[in-house]
Amino acid sequence: MEFARKVWKLLVAVKDGLVLVFMLLFFGGLYALLSMRPAPGKIADGALLIELAGVVVEEPAPVDPFSLLTATQAPTREFRARDVARTIRAAAKDTRIKAVVLDMSRFLGGGYVNLRQIGAAMDEVRQAGKPVLTYANGYVDDGVQLAAHASEVWLDPMGAAFIAGPGGNNMYFGKALEKYGVTPHVYRVGTYKSAVEPYLLEGPSEPARRSLEAVYEGRLAAYRSDITGARPRLAFETVTQQPAAWIEQASGDLATAAKSAGLVDRLGSKTAFGERIAKIVGKPIGDSETGSFAATDYDTFLAATPLPTEGAAIGVVTIAGTIVDGEAGPGTAGGERIAKILEDALDEDLKALVVRIDSPGGSVMASERIRLAIEAFKEKKIPVVVSMGDMAASGGYWVATPAQRIFADPGTLTGSIGVFAVLASFEDLLADVGVTGGGVKTTPLSGQPDILFGISPEMASIFQSSVENNYAKFIGHVAQSRGRSPEQIDAIAQGRVWIGSDAKRIGLIDQYGDLQTALAYAAKAGGIGNAPWHAQYLGEESDALSQFLLQLRNSETAQASGDFTALVADRQRLSAAGLLDRLRTMAQPRGVQAYCMECPAQPGTHAGPAKTGLFETLALLAGFRIR
């Protein structure tokens, strides 16, 4: 009997081992298959159909394949802005493409500058004599901005279109912290470094309000210039300044109001929209279904439109999202990861380096690690040019300082040159429940920083000195970069955020221009002359397995676009997740930081659904950091 049991255990072990081996072989083979470069699909004569179901970002975050397989809901897709723009530009020149169609039924947003880039590509299609059509159940702000560049904007008759404009409420914890006995200790330099105010006040201070008003008014002016330049008949003042009267004139019919104001051109169902496109590009061969039209989808056309590789190479490194220590990213700017990318690129034959920044900043250590890696290119006499996206603030400006020229958009948010520290202690909370502290100290710093029973004056002095030292280093880098004295930079720093148009006036940027403008300048600075050149994007590797699984999951909900209310709810969910992720970032101990909390949260899913409640946030405040 004993022998039989041993044999049985042996057989079970062999069976388990074989199952494990076969599973490893299966998933290894699947990964190898998906990692192969996909063959471009066939481009059909008809329309280029871009189902913009998700958010437009500077750099998509990687997707964990295992979480994808086990998640109950597919994550929001992230579209790389320059890929969308490149695809649309290619469609303008492709004789097989008769029209470009953007289905924005599930579009959840994008940054102002990135959407400007896509809008310019849509303009090129129209200049080539091809129509650009969009359809949605609702257009809000960034959706309005993108659709403004279409030749025909369609809206579902039950839908709506609004322009809310930049701004809104932030969360202030001053009263809650006082109520729960949490004492925030704040150390900062700068009148306008208002990122600490949510821990102290019940609303923005007057200097912070003035600064934000200037930034938001500048962003609104840039936004207005973009959309009214594309659609001169759009009643911008009516829509933004008299919204209630505007809707009342249409008897509460939101879709009719949108058409009357010039936000949209036609009202119609998805089927009617499809029939309209079919009249332009034709029906699919052998398909007579109502509303169908001949088209090539975005992913197929993108795969068939590779990046050019001819001529000299200009390196492009992307710094997108919060700057953090370590290997994080893409989508988050891990300082160690980006520095290694740059160090590896030093051995390549690059004629110039373009640093593309879309970041509110973050870790000072990581920012300095990246800055030094960029400086290494200058030491090798390789020109360095910076291209700013939607924002390049605080640590995002820190990493821009090695550039010989900085390009930005009039609507870019930049500056925020400053640092601060917040340390929470709980002596009042503990005293309320009868807990006191006592012990023996051998030096003034024994047991410090003591988050339970208070911060000593000596420790507070050290924190403040550290903040001032980091600020001095920051303005020193900027002064050297911009050819100014530290005193001149200090006058425009103080943690203040600047809109691109003002940043150019005060010398924080050199010239207006997008990434292509920066690349052209870099090519000239690199001595390429009239010879061909191409952009070589550094450190970008396609994760075919994740993308394949993501497409499978997204296809499950491809038809579930919902109405305008559902669209607004989805956008608010992403907005709330981004805001709470900011609070979580502030609350977790991440070392010395240079971060622009005043800048609006960027679109994207890497922030993830918010899991931090108020009490967890208050508890996390016990960590020390300098930003």
Rg of the chain taking only CA atoms, in angstroms: 27
The encoded tokens of residue 57 equal 């970002």
Q: Which amino acid is at 398?
A: W
Give the whole-angstrom CA distance, residue 56 versus residue 122. Answer: 15
Phi (first) and psi of residue 141, to 5 degrees: 45, -90
The encoded tokens of residue 206 equal 């007057």
**b/e string for 4-17 if b means 16 or more Cβ within 10 A?**
eeeeeeeeeeeeee
Strand locations in 214-273, DSSP E?
A: 266-267
Neighbouring CB atoms inside 10 A of 550's CB total 20
The encoded tokens of residue 586 equal 């502030």
Catalytic residue numbers read 193, 394
The DSSP bridge pattern shows strands 183-188 and 591-595 to be unpaired
The encoded tokens of residue 368 equal 């300095």
Chain position carrying tokens 């992307």: 318
The encoded tokens of residue 80 equal 């790389």
Query: Is residue 334 classed as helix, strand or coil in its secondary structure?
Result: strand
Q: CB–CB of 424/451 below 8 Å? A: yes
Give the whole-angstrom CA distance, residue 53 versus residue 538. Answer: 27
Give the whole-angstrom CA distance, residue 543 versus residue 162. Answer: 37
Give the whole-angstrom CA distance, residue 359 versus residue 319. Answer: 7
Give the strand order in the sheet containing 323-324. 183-188, 420-425, 625-626, 591-595, 361-363, 323-324, 333-334
Q: Which amino acid is at 278?
A: A
Q: CB–CB of 163/467 below 8 Å? A: no
Q: Which amino acid is at 423?
A: L
Q: Which amino acid is at 567?
A: L
Give the whole-angstrom CA distance, residue 50 versus residue 56. Answer: 12
Query: Is residue 51 classed as helix, strand or coil in its secondary structure?
Result: strand
Instruction: Compute CA distances 276 → 86, 283, 284, whole Å.
Output: 25, 11, 14
Neighbouring CB atoms inside 10 A of 525's CB total 17
